[in-house]
Structure 1
Amino acid sequence: MRLLIINILLLFSTQVWSQTDLGIGLVSINFDDKTVLKFYSDTLESKPEKIVEFFNDKTINSWNIKDLKKQQEWLKPEILWLDYFEFTFRCLTPTDKWIEVIVNNETGKSYWIENTELTEFKNWEEFLKNMFGVARLPDFKQSIKTKPTENVADIKYQGTDCFVVKSMKGDWIEISTPDHCDDSYTESTTTINSGWIRWRKGNKLLIDYFTTS
């Protein structure tokens, strides 16, 4: 049962794109079935390069994007999980009226969208603090440190990674084990009140993050 839960978490974790600019934060779109999102190559352009339209898809009892398969040829954002109302982009440049977002995390392609009541910006620290949990990437081995530097003692941890973010300092995040990551959930025998791991190296994310259980 534990492995099933972990696999579900991994399945719904966001994809990690190692070469794409992480930007200064994330922009979430508060869409509904009437949302029309226009993407411009420049803030001075009057005609959008791309348009994404949402609708009420009665075949799946959920909101959906028109011609989603065709749109996904160019649209590969940070999160596209419509069942949970998650539509999120990495943000390069926010202004009062416009926001530059990465629309394709594979190529780094960016467009501009209008900054309206539909858009919600969070820097990476705010965003990660709101996640259900974070975990170290299995292909980047790193210890949990007592302070945000390499030259300090390790914290010994036994169990499956399931942490929440308390704070951020540069490339490091302060983590702890929350109540929803109890022994039955992770088979962890270690409680961490405060520890530090690296969350990025350049433009590479060193963690997985999970928006929900």
Structure 2
Amino acid sequence: MKKFLKPAFLLFYLLMPVSFFFVGLLFAKLIDAGKGQMLAAGAIVLGYGVLFAGLAFVTSFIIVRYTKHRYVVIANIVLSVLLVSFLLYFRIQYKNRNSPKPAEHEMKAPKPTAPAEKGNLLVWSAIPKKKHLQNPENDMGLGFFTPNFYDNPLLYFFGNVNPEKSVMEHAPTDSIVFKRRGQGGFDIAQAPPWLVPEHMKLDYDMLYFEIAALGREFAEVVVNTQTRRTALVNKYGGKIIFWPAFLLQVHSVEFPPDSNEKVRARPFEQASEVNLPYSFLKPVSIKNEWMQVELWNDDFRPIGKGWIRWQRNGKLLIDYSLLS
């Protein structure tokens, strides 16, 4: 019994599980144990570390029983060096992961874009309300992508991509160049001639592209609402706003002139109609295909509440005003 309690052996009991905990983490990384597991990935990798540590702790007693003292001392030296190496390795990995990523302008430069035409920019800026004419088929897509031009002065567009590769491994085909105004805010310095975004009002920091499809690293966005031309963007270069969140931040909504939809007392078709006269509908909450709204008068004061159906089978049933 005294043999098991010698200082060298006690240190060995400690170094074995700690060192093999890191071995387990590296093994999990090597076999991609957490790949595609989303939130469970961290727990899976940690589980490998704990498993290896537990096995090493049990094994350390077996080794001590059948091994001479001097060999355990040598093993302690080796394990100490190994442990320091692991700590340095994971420290470097942590710093690399949390350091700023290479700037997007370090990617292969795309072909030069044309200077932004002020006439087009003024037309885009004057569209505060969604109109069904923007999309003749009224296919609403998934929501909107808005670039983070405060942190990224360039928004790159990509053509065909390999989903197995990262964004940094692809060469962009075109881009938008943003420039900061002297009085604050941003303008577009250069843009492709075909660019017609869904909404653009840069004096309010608004630039929205409709999202047609969404992938792990890329978002397919509509870059020309007239021709329905699409391009891919790095979805982490901006913000993804799905329809419910987007509609809850607009100023007001309304039915198109040819709509047969009604404001109802409850969120289903058979509910009674709300017959209060109103001027505006203010979104309050969204539940599936139904939106709860406040009814406002001309003085922008609420006079009641109701429910409207805002989409049906992927088709948008309402217009909305972003600002007023």
Q: TM-score, normalised by structure 1?
A: 0.75
Alignment of 1:1-213 (within 5 A): 12-16=128-132, 17-19=135-137, 21-32=139-150, 35-44=153-162, 46-58=170-182, 62-67=185-190, 71=192, 73-116=193-236, 118-170=237-289, 172-177=290-295, 181=296, 184-185=299-300, 191-193=303-305, 195-201=306-312, 204-213=315-324
Q: CA deviation at 1:123?
A: 1.5
Distance across 1 between alignment mates of 2:170 and 2:127: 39
Which structure carries more relative contact order (alpha carbon 8 Å, separation 6+)? 1
Paired with 1:204 and 1:155, the residues of 2 have a C-alpha distance of 23
Partner of 1:3: none
> Deviation per CA, 1:31-53, whole angstroms, max 9, x where unpaired?
13861011111223833232110
Distance 1:109 1:202, change over 3 A: farther
Q: Show the counterpart of 2:28.
A: none
Which deviates more, 81-90 or 136-145? Answer: 136-145
Which structure dedicates a bigger proportion of its chain to helix?
Answer: 2
Look up the equivalent residue of 2:143 and give its one-letter code: G
How many angstroms apart in 2 are the aligned matches of 1:15 and 1:49? 29
Conservation of the 8 A alpha-carbon contact between 2:284 and 2:294: yes
Distance 2:224 2:233 in 1: 14
Q: Deviations over 1:120-166 (max 9, x none)?
A: 11211111112222222223242111233333211112021232231
How far, CA to CA, are the matches of 2:258 and 2:274 in structure 1?
19
Structure possessing the higher radius of gyration over alpha carbons: 2
Matches of 1:29 and 1:128, distance apart in 2: 18
The equivalent residue for 2:89 is none
Matched position secondary structure for 2:170: coil
Deviations 1:105-126 (A, max 9, x none): 222221111122x311121111
The worse-fitting range, judged by mean Cα deviation, of 131-140 and 153-162 is 131-140
Partners of 1:199 and 1:143 in 2: CA distance: 11
Whole-angstrom CA distance in 2 between matches of 1:11 and 1:99: 23
Structure with the higher fraction of residues in strand conformation: 1
SS in 2 for 1:142: coil
CA distance, structure 1, for counterparts of residue 138 and residue 172 of structure 2: 23
Q: 2:152 and 2:300 mapped to 1: Cα distance?
A: 39
- Distance (whole Å) between structure 2 residues aligned to residue 115 and residue 11 of structure 1: 24
What's the offset of the Cα at 1:11? 6.0
Q: Cα distance 1:123–1:48, how it changes in 2: closer, same or farther (>3 A)?
A: same
1:6 alignment counterpart: none
Cα 1:94/1:210, change in 2 over 3 Å: same
Report the aligned-residue RMSD: 2.8
Q: Which residue of 1 is the match for residue 54 of structure 2?
A: none
1:18–1:203 Cα contact (<8 Å) kept: no
8 Å contact from structure 2 (residues 186, 203) kept in 1:
yes
Q: Distance in 1 between matches of 2:240 and 2:321?
A: 18
Q: How many equivalent pairs are there?
A: 191
The structural deviation recorded for 1:196 is 1.9
Q: Counterparts of 2:222 and 2:284 in 1: how far apart (Å)?
A: 24
> Which residue number in structure 2 is paired with residue 5 of structure 1?
none
SS in 2 for 1:156: coil
Aligned partners of 1:107, 1:145: CA distance in 2, in Å? 36
